[in-house]
Amino acid sequence: MPTISDSTRGEFALIEKIRNLSAPVPEGVLGIGDDCAVLPQKDGLQSLVSCDLLVEGEHFVLDRISPRELGWKSAAVNISDIAAMGGRPRGTFLSLCLPEKFSEADVLEFIEGYNALSSRFSCPLLGGDTTRGKLLCINVTVLGECPAGRAVLRSGARSGDLICVTGPLGDSATGLELILSDRSSDPNYQYLKERHYLPVPRVGEGMAIAKAGAGAMMDISDGVASDLRHILKASSVGAEVDCGAIPMSTQMQKTCASLGLDPVEKALCGGEDYELLFTIGEQELKRLDVEHYVIGRITAGNSLVWKGSDRDYLGFRHF
């Protein structure tokens, strides 16, 4: 039976070494290991801070994505980490490494997309840095806040809690499949491409889930198969996931069928959905008034069981 430690892979093992080499954080501060760092404030609030790096060729293919889409997505994936704590985003900093081929007009179109997403969440651009370089690199730092002691961490899952997600999974990864294989004639191309390039972070949903009393939460960037393991490891619990209960759009299922792809594998392992994955008690779930799908249950012990499937699933690998 697969165990949670199966997920100890290159990137995460390296981050663990970095953490071990670094100074311990002061009492009351949460450092490396969650979607955001959490810092106390004096006025009954907590600050949430996160940053993410997007590198040309690693996270996007420059001639397949428009500058506007790239700007939107850069803001979205960062604001999503504030949503993952149940917080409210307050502002961002944007650092750009710009190659010659990315023109000034491209930069301005990028900013137009960045601001279109950010303004939806009243999250203004507050600063950053700009430099020349060989590859387009985008680093965003996002600041947010939530009531003191109310950030929803990865470590709060309890045995018996239900495991839920806020929306259908696998659209983004299936969209990427269509983009990279030039299948613009697929009837679901436009929908799936937008789900890949123009994700909308679940900010209001995250705050409502926190208020309802969720135990643990994170955003789905690498796929439930990988991301759930972070919650299980941080909370020292196991899980049973019902593969038949994974929400998937009809567009995604039809396209997977026509490409001969396994939709459940795409949904669990594809990543970049930016839906929220959370655990919550049955009573608390009754108080929750946002779209959600129950996909499994937290168990005691350290096993991760995929009910309804005879295989194990792993998420997206960075290294």
Contact between 178 and 255 (Cβ < 8 Å): yes
Contact between 291 and 164 (Cβ < 8 Å): no
Q: Which stretch binds ligand ADP (CB under 6 A): 1-9, 31-39, 86-94, 119-127?
A: 31-39
Shortest spacing between CB 42 and ligand ADP, in angstroms: 24
Distance between CA atoms of 117 and 69, rounded to whole angstroms?
A: 10
Q: Does 227 bind Mg ion (CB under 5 A)?
A: no
Distance between CA atoms of 219 and 216, rounded to whole angstroms?
A: 11
Which listed residue (56, 69, 81, 272) binds ligand ADP by CB under 6 A?
81
Q: Of residues 55-84, which lie at the interface with Mg ion (CB under 5 A)? A: 81, 84
Shortest spacing between CB 165 and ligand ADP, in angstroms: 16
For 69, residues 6+ apart whose C-beta sits below 8 A from its C-beta are: 113, 197, 198
Which listed residue (56, 106, 186, 219) binds Mg ion by CB under 5 A?
219
Q: Of residues 35-74, which lie at the interface with ligand ADP (CB under 6 A)? A: 35, 52
Contact between 242 and 248 (Cβ < 8 Å): no
Measured from the CB atom, the residue of 38 and 305 that comes closer to ligand ADP is 38
Token readout for 284 is 């608390």
Q: Which stretch binds ligand ADP (CB under 6 A): 29-37, 123-131, 151-159, 208-216?
A: 29-37
Which listed residue (166, 221, 226, 255) binds ligand ADP by CB under 6 A?
221
Shortest spacing between CB 251 and ligand ADP, in angstroms: 26
Contact between 232 and 239 (Cβ < 8 Å): yes
Q: How far is CA 227 from CA 20, 44, 278, in A?
A: 22, 30, 10
Contact residues toward Mg ion (CB under 5 A) are 35, 81, 84, 219
